[in-house]
Structure 1
Amino acid sequence: MVGPLNRKPQPSGATRRTAVGLILGAPLLGACSSVQQSFGQFSNPFSSPQPEAGPAGPQQQPLAVGTGQVKVGVILPLSAAGNAGVAAQSMKNAAEMALAEFQNPNIQLLIKDDGGSPQGASQATQQALGEGAEIILGPLFAQSVPAVAQQTRAKGVSVIAFSTDSSVAGRGVYLLSFLPESDVNRIVDYSAGIGKKSFAALLPDNAYGNVVEAAFKQAAARKGRIVAFEKYGADRSAAVRTVSQSLGQADALFMADDGDSVVAAADALTAAGVNLRNIQLLGTGLWDNPRVFGSPALQGGLYAAPDPSGFRSFAGRYRTKYGGEPVRTATLAYDAVALVAALSRTQGAQRFAAETLTNPSGFAGIDGLFRFRSDGTNERGLAVMKVGQGGSTPVAGSPKSFGA
């Protein structure tokens, strides 16, 4: 087990979070009475706009931050157009914030712009490795991960990427992202624990739905049985009709889609004559959306997501430092930098070895516990949230340790 970090003093009222494996995120502050709901929104990782690189490729100048001896490559689409570039800048800020908040870190960040393209990611990785990077943080997009891995595996260097597509994980490539599989396992396990073991499911027929389907079928078979399962495309009427006919045999209905789509599915079920108050509704982190909170049909629904208090504290510090709001994925960059800084301090020559990164005790970051599996995917300790008017409240907190 890796010991806790030494952190800079925090504002009064801060409390120290429980140590598991390694403490990364700054201590949580007292709960805020009002937080913009947009802080907690998780977008569908499989339907995000594709990055658009400029015609000349990456434009950002190379940047080194910090003076430590351990060099860490950070690869982000800083010059990509639209939301990709905005997210990259926010994640860069968070990475630098982690370095500033960690007490005397012995790392130097080699920040590289990949322009949002696999070619740019390959070039950025080559540059970082040439400058002595011992580990690579990034890239953000799934299509760029194999290009990075091709460079790093030849050098025996590990990668901690931010993609949500678990198919790009693998030997030496670990994903520090919010994977749908963790959401599914947490919500199915919780619902079984409160006696809901006969499941119906209504899922989108897309890449996200396919990933969720595989995880749900495994989890439901482990905890109970599936009495109805349907997927829908642009027209969900047939799937809704089929599922509605079987809900009398189910005590939980699992719907995993983004805010607009899950509200539309719930409204379609209601229009088909289903009283959704007679069944426990279940969802994933995509439910963390104002549209869901405002839907009368989804009130009382349960979904799995990181405990929002960690992000509230992080966002407050980010606003103070940068004068703006962080993107939701900014915590990934913060935790990645905090992790490598801590491992550099405590683990010596084995700091980025596979057995170090896959410590089964895991690590405690901004969004709670996480640990890397040997296949490169991750497991997160998630809270269970209950949908209410105007927001959500936790009905089960994040675990303090990973079970056996």
Structure 2
Amino acid sequence: MRNLKRGAVVAAVLAVAACGGGGGFSGWGSGPSRSSGPVAPSGETIGSGSVRVGLLLPNSAGGDASSVARLFRNSAELAINDFQGGDIQLLVKDTNGSSEGGKAAAQAAIAEGAELIIGPVFAPAVGGAAAAARSSGVPVVAFSSNSSVAARGVYLLSFLPQNDVRRIVSFAAKRGKKSFAAIVPSNAYGQVVEASFRQYAGEFGVRVLGIERYDGTEADIRAKAEAIATLGPQIDAVFIPDGGGAARIIAGVLAQKGVTSQTVQMLGTSQWDNPAILADSSLRGGWFPGTDKAGYQKFASRYQAAYGVSPPRTGTLAYDATILAAGLVRSAGARRFSEDILTNPDGFLGIDGVFRFRRDGTNERGLAVYEVASGQARIVDPAPKSFSAGY
């Protein structure tokens, strides 16, 4: 527990004192009005500090969304309990997972004095909350992985696929891989990773000799894998961003055609971190990025002790967002949630390692690189402990 608390507290204080300049956001209000004072909180609150922070969750959305809401609510409460003496109070508001719900929830939290919005979870609700927060100058730290809702003053703390692609392409290039092919799903995720793959291939000086896109059928996956296999003699790496069954089918077809992990380097994303892929012999030796596991394991142990269940992987997001808010209140004074503080290039250290917000609202994370090794994920390049120049 000592190590968990120490790492969490550091999240909010790395290099904050070095920030300079003013706050505020271009096109946003100058901050929440306090002329008549905030109204008394309604609904659930967590913590008893003097600085109010909205926590926007899809409580009434039903199904899996309600489970996510409970996970994030509990993770935020765990953070409040871990950060002893934190001077924040969370105002829990329901978004129903919708744009209208997100807007109404943000308006309610701001009316009750919220200086920062944590959440929402889903992209439509993030868009709605951002619309309400913009006029009041209240920044948003949201959990959607859809980077289209990121904007100045709307920061995504989620696990973005762009970070996966950057890390694995740069690492492979440093290891001497120069000629790549890729096979990606024909969906929104595939579009994002393909665009990132092309961008970072150019940035890190590798050639892209072919990209194939497949639909959801096994027949099409096999056909596109066979097309990639024809490039075998010309390439030294194949990027397969999808996880689960698709990656295993692709690797199996490539192996049948003589394109194996002994002849080319298989590259994946954090979606490869699952037992089926780690046990697949065709993918053995493949590289994929991911967060450092040690922090999550400590978090999961404490969460299970507190709530009786093991938390899904994304629970750390709400924990880190809450610790960040509490730490900035303690360390950054009246400018605690200003743009220059939140976008400090030195970043912050959370449960999942170092991260920082960019001014466009997206984030960068320091990721490790793992190797598929007979049912295990073996670290081949540790996650960085800080953002060095040029990271």
TM-score, normalising length: structure 1: 0.85
Tell me which of 194, 208, 225 is aligned to 2:189.
Answer: 208
Tell me which of 166, 187, 191 is aligned to 1:185.
Answer: 166
Q: Distance in 2 between matches of 1:390 and 1:112?
A: 42
Q: Which amino acid aligns with 2:232?
A: L
Q: Which amino acid aligns with 2:189?
A: Y
* SS class of match (2:271): helix
Stretches of structure 2 that go unaligned for 5 or more consecutive residues are 15-41
Shift of 1:22: 4.0
Tell me the alpha carbon deviations over residues 66-111 of structure 1, each in whole angstroms, 9 at most, x when there is no partner.
1111100000112222221112101110000000000200000001
Name the residue aligned to 2:299: 314
Tell me which of 340, 351, 369 is aligned to 1:355.
Answer: 340
Tell me which of 321, 324, 328 is aligned to 1:339.
Answer: 324
The percentage of counterpart residues that share the same residue type is 48
1:375 is the counterpart of 2:357 = no
Tell me the alpha carbon deviations over residues 86-139 of structure 1, each in whole angstroms, 9 at most, x when there is no partner.
121011100000000002000000011212222221221111111010010001
1:141 is the counterpart of 2:122 = yes
Tell me which of 102, 105, 109 is aligned to 2:83.
Answer: 102
Tell me which of 266, 284, 291 is aligned to 2:251.
Answer: 266
Q: Distance in 1 between matches of 2:113 and 2:285?
A: 52
4+ residue runs over 6 A deviation: 18-21
Distance 1:23 1:254, change over 3 A: farther
Shift of 1:369: 0.3
Name the residue aligned to 1:81: 62
Name the residue aligned to 1:115: 96
Name the residue aligned to 2:263: 278
Stretches of structure 1 that go unaligned for 5 or more consecutive residues are 1-9, 25-60
Shift of 1:273: 4.1
**Is the contact between residue 56 and residue 92 of structure 2 (CA under 8 Å) also seen in structure 1?**
yes
Shift of 1:390: 2.2
Name the residue aligned to 2:23: none
Q: Which amino acid aligns with 2:213?
A: K
Q: Which amino acid aligns with 1:149?
A: A
**Is the contact between residue 21 and residue 361 of structure 1 (CA under 8 Å) also seen in structure 2?**
no
Distance 1:16 1:117, change over 3 A: closer
Q: Distance in 2 between matches of 1:21 and 1:112?
A: 25
* SS class of match (1:171): coil
Q: Which moved more, 1:389-398 or 1:329-338?
A: 389-398
Shift of 1:14: 7.2
Tell me the alpha carbon deviations over residues 190-236 of structure 1, each in whole angstroms, 9 at most, x when there is no partner.
11111112111111111001000111111111221112221111312
Tell me the alpha carbon deviations over residues 241-296 of structure 1, each in whole angstroms, 9 at most, x when there is no partner.
22111121111111000212211221222334433331111111111111111211
Distance 1:105 1:358, change over 3 A: same
Q: Distance in 1 between matches of 2:307 and 2:11?
A: 30
Q: Which moved more, 1:93-102 or 1:261-270?
A: 261-270
1:242 is the counterpart of 2:223 = no
Distance 1:18 1:63, change over 3 A: closer
Q: Which moved more, 1:80-89 or 1:279-288?
A: 80-89
Distance 1:207 1:249, change over 3 A: same
Name the residue aligned to 1:287: 272
Tell me the alpha carbon deviations over residues 287-323 of structure 1, each in whole angstroms, 9 at most, x when there is no partner.
1111111211111111001011110011011111111
Q: Distance in 2 between matches of 1:16 and 1:71?
A: 24
Tell me which of 175, 191, 198 is aligned to 1:217.
Answer: 198
